[in-house]
């Protein structure tokens, strides 16, 4: 009983009393990156990718170590990995044929629209994969600005909710947030949207 009460207190502190991490830094769980490559192997088009919100290198390290990919890792904030001080939304040239990232949620729309700009402007930009909340599918404004412009080629929903930990705190105290996420993939050569599930 006491253990359950303590967990409830932790939950209240984490979800109600604590503000969101300043820069929306929620490192990507390893299994999320593995799920992307296992179910949509972007290496068929290129083994060179750009991770523009690399944080502590959670996605980049998996792609490099486990899948032998070359990753350009950048971020606006210095998290001790990659090249910091790079504002993806201000960039004018692509760094690789693919972008793979878990963008700051408050800037998810802007990140997607930036990649759509690259897709329209850069012939050698093959596409992008973004880890986004499943709720990203909702919204009239998002439909008008993004999906009516180009719908994703594939939406891969995690059957099990992902555990996202604030990057600046210890899971043992602050607990975890389980949320519905999916990989949203825009591929230049694929047009129809396919909905699948990652159920590993």
Distance in angstroms (rounded) separating the CA atoms of residues 180 and 157: 8
pLDDT in tens, 47-100: 999 999 999 999 999 999 999 999 999 999 999 999 999 999 999 999 999 999
pLDDT on residue 118: 97
Structure-token match 């694929």, residue found: 190
Distance in angstroms (rounded) separating the CA atoms of residues 84 and 118: 21
Matching CATH number, 21-198, of 3.40.50.150, 3.40.50.300, 3.20.20.60, 3.30.470.10: 3.40.50.150
Pairing state between β 177-179 and 162-164 = antiparallel
Q: How many CB atoms lie within 10 A of CB 11?
A: 14
Domain residue ranges in the chain: 21-198
| pTM exceeding the 0.85 threshold for the entire prediction | no
Is the pLDDT at 200 greater than 90, yes or no?
Answer: no
Pairing state between β 83-84 and 70-75 = parallel
pLDDT in tens, 109-151: 999 999 999 999 999 999 999 999 999 999 999 999 999 999 9
């Amino acid at each position: 009983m006491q253990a359950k009460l303590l967990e409830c207190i932790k939950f209240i502190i984490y979800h109600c009393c604590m503000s969101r991490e300043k820069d929306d830094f929620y490192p990507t769980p390893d299994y999320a990156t593995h799920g992307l490559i296992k179910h949509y192997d972007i290496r068929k088009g290129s083994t060179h990718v750009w991770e523009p919100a690399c944080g502590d290198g959670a996605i980049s390290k998996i792609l490099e170590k486990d899948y032998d990919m070359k990753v350009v890792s950048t971020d606006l904030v210095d998290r001790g990995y990659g090249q910091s001080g790079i504002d993806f939304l201000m960039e004018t040239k692509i760094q690789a044929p693919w972008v793979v990232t878990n963008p700051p949620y408050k800037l998810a729309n802007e990140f997607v629209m930036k990649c759509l700009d690259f897709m329209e402007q850069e012939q050698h930009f093959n596409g992008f994969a973004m880890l986004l909340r499943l709720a990203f599918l909702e919204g009239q404004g998002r439909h008008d600005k993004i999906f009516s412009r180009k719908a994703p080629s594939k939406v891969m929903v995690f059957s099990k909710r992902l555990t996202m930990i604030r990057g600046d705190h210890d899971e043992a105290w602050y607990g975890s947030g389980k949320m519905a996420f999916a990989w949203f993939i825009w591929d230049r050569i694929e047009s129809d949207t396919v909905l699948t599930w990652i159920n590993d």
